[in-house]
Structure formats: structure tokens, C-alpha cells
Chain A
């Protein structure tokens, strides 16, 4: 692939800048569904839900994935910047803990009663845990 078609990517977490490099494409778990960003994409801002951020062709590697629980992305034609909370590589995911989290989410769901807010929170917890588990289970 020609050098010019690479897009600059940055993944920034509250603790540090995790990735600052170029890649061929990035897949993002936006709240409204996954999307893929290539060089020359129209400017865009979106909130990310829990899921995997996948970089293609980052630093010579084929695919690099990070699991995020929340994020925010700014896309410009030549640059993508992702703010993410606790970005984890799949092998670093603590599976028993994620399972525990799912159980806790389910318990929250059962206790939510009439409160819409509690349901939203329970949903978020379950969704986050499931995204983590799915990410840990899939290969590559």
C-alpha cells in the first residue's frame, strides 16, 4: 500500500498515550455500531461504547486490538484520535473478573425495580462485561 494512504492514529487513555503511529485502517465501536475509518474519511466525532478498537496495519503488524469500555473519537481526513478508558489488549483481560462483572450487572438488573437509570446502568455493566469476554475469546 502506498505510504500516502496511511492514516495517523492515536489512542489516548487517562493514564498515558498508548498508541501514536500510522495504520491502514481503524475499526471503531461507536455507540450506534461498528465503523471503519480509512485515510481521507470525512471529519467526524462520535462516542464509543464498549467493544474493540482494531487497528489494521499498525507498525508492521497485521491486526492490533484494544478493548475499551468507553471512548470518544475525532476523525479527520489524515488523522484519528481516540480517547478511551481502560484500553486493554485481549490477552490482558481478566476473564474471571469480567464474568463476575456480568453477574454483578445481572444482579443490578434484577434489583433495578422502577428506576430507569438503574436499568441503564445495569445494561451498561452487562454490555461492558460481555464485550470484554467476547474480546478475550476471539483470536487475532
Chain B
């Protein structure tokens, strides 16, 4: 049985752990607030692109009369044989089930589409580490063309597929300093691969985050596009009731608001963009404008997903650290009780000894 001294030591150690988890929780709460503000600030752009695109669709002949589909390569649905899966995880651990859930959703998706060829693109360190261990990297082979008609020999890099599932790229640190430039670069790359038919579809696994209590891990189809302004969620893992309650409790104690921020006013303002009931002069044909805007629309969707994922990661860490702090408090309470009992027992024993010693004299 532990002595009073042992227990006192243990209490001190748990106390310092509690201090650390509490500090981590407050840091995560501050970061969460900042990430939420950033996600909010990114909304007008996405909203404006969406509204101008829908308005352009109505105004122009971008729709193919024969099929009723939009005449743009990004709307071309093909049988999905080669799929690019972008997995957005966190950079760091200590975030409860956050990374685990995302990877679980990714593996479920891979399992459900067995037999198809997959390219994996990992964003965030956790997904990168995991995929690098499990799947081989994609190999590109440099080839020199022997075509005599060519001015000088050209090198063409060609993809050589060796396994069903390969890792094509990773973006560690993209989330840490999330800026639009890098994300738009990635989106451009993905669009080019889709247009060149290197991939038939692009899916995105990430943690959607509207507010602390309104979040879930989703699988969303990024390409091909189907309808402007509509998310194509193909699968979702909703958090359990307990998880939601724990998150709400953590948010309240850290002073983070529970409801999604009110965006109605900014949204209606943004929705006016490009939709006035007037005849616009087009500097170029409306179709050209449409084609120029569409890739940015895809990029802004991706950017939005990343911004939400960053907020979700901080929220998950905040929740995890909140329950760690609570656990530490419980532990301290139970140790203190144990220690007091032990001390009392020792005192009682001493008194009995003194009393019985006095009686013997």
C-alpha cells in the first residue's frame, strides 16, 4: 500500500499534467477562434464565384442542347476507374479521434471501391505518415522521345503504375500556414490531371466544420462537377451524442461560441454578385468568362474544405484536452481522499497506541 508521501508525490505530478492539458486547451481554443474567423473571411469569395457562375449558366449557351449537360470538361462524368483521393488530416496528434476518424473514413472509401485504381494525395502530416507506410509511392519514368520529326529529343515523364493504390503526393505544412496561393496551385494541378484523363474523379475526405457541435467527417466529390453551388457529399461519419456533448462542454468552458456564426447578411450581399437584372457588357464571351472562373470555383471549394478542417482539428484538440483536464481533476480528488484516509488511519493508530500505553502504566 502506498504511503502518504507516495500519494502526495503522485498528486503533485497529476497536478502538473493538468496544468499542461489546461494550457493546451486554452491555446487550441484561441487557435480555433482564429481558424473560424479565417474560414468566415473566405466565404464571400466562394459565395461570389458560385453566384456569378450560376448566373452565367442562365445567360449563356454553355449548356449543350443535345444532352442538357454543361459543355465543359470539368462536368464530364466518365466511368470512375482511376480515382484521386485527397485526404485532409491534421499535422499533430493529441486531438482525440480526429485523425483516426479521417483515416477510417478514407479506408472505408478505399474498401468500398475495391478493384479501382487509386491515387492518394495526403494533406497534413498524420495522413502522410500513415500512407507512406502502407502504400508505395507513384513512380514517374522519364522517357526520351525518338520521333525523328521532333526538332530535338524531348523528355516526357510518364506515370508507371505498379500497385492498385499509390501515393502521388503529400503536402505537409500546407495547413500550418494555410494560404490561398498554395491551395490554388494544388487545385490547378488536380484539374490538369482530370482534364488529361489521368484521373476520372477526385474525392476529398475531410472534417466538415460548421460549429463545434455541427461537424462530421465527410467524403465529398470534387470532380467531375455536377451542379454549381451544391456539395456532393457521398459519405459521412457523424459524431456520437457523447462526443458532441463533450465538445459542447469544452467549448463553453473555453468561451468559444457554439452556434455557427451568423453569415446571412454577408451571404445575401455576396449572392448579388454578378446577378443583377441588367444586360452586362461582356469583355469576352460569357463562355470564356465561365471557363476562366470554373477552375477558381473548384479551388475555392478545396480552400474552404482545408480551412474548415483546420478549425475542426483545433476544436478536436480542445475537446480532447478538456476531457484530459477533467480526468486529471477526478484523479487528484480520488488520490486526495485516499491520502486523507491513510493519514487519518495513521493518527488513529497512534492515539490507540498512546491510550493503551497509558492504560498499561
Binding site for B on A (CB under 8 A): 12-17, 30-32, 42-47, 70, 72, 74, 76, 81, 83, 85-86, 113-114
Contact = CB atoms under 8 A, between A and B. Distances in A.
Contacts of A70: 296
B300 A14 contact: yes
Interface of B: 38, 41-42, 44-46, 48-49, 52, 150-151, 154, 179-181, 183-184, 273-274, 276, 278-284, 286, 288-289, 292-293, 296, 299-300, 303
Given A15-B42, A16-B41, A47-B292, A83 B283 contact: no
A17 B44 contact: yes
Given A45-B283, A81-B273, A114-B154, 5 more contacts: A14-B42, A16-B42, A72-B292, A83-B49, A85-B184
Contacts of A43: 276, 278-281
A46 B274 CA distance: 11
Question: Interface centre among A13, A44, A81, A86, by most B CB within 10 Å?
Answer: A81
A114 B279 CA distance: 41
A31 B292 CA distance: 11
Contacts of B299: 14
B181 A45 contact: no
B289 A13 contact: no
B48 A14 contact: no
Nearest to B149: A114
Nearest to B286: A45
B289 A45 contact: yes
B180 A17 contact: no
B296 to A, nearest CB: 7
Given A13-B45, A14-B180, A15-B38, A76 B276 contact: yes
Contacts of A74: 52, 273-274, 280
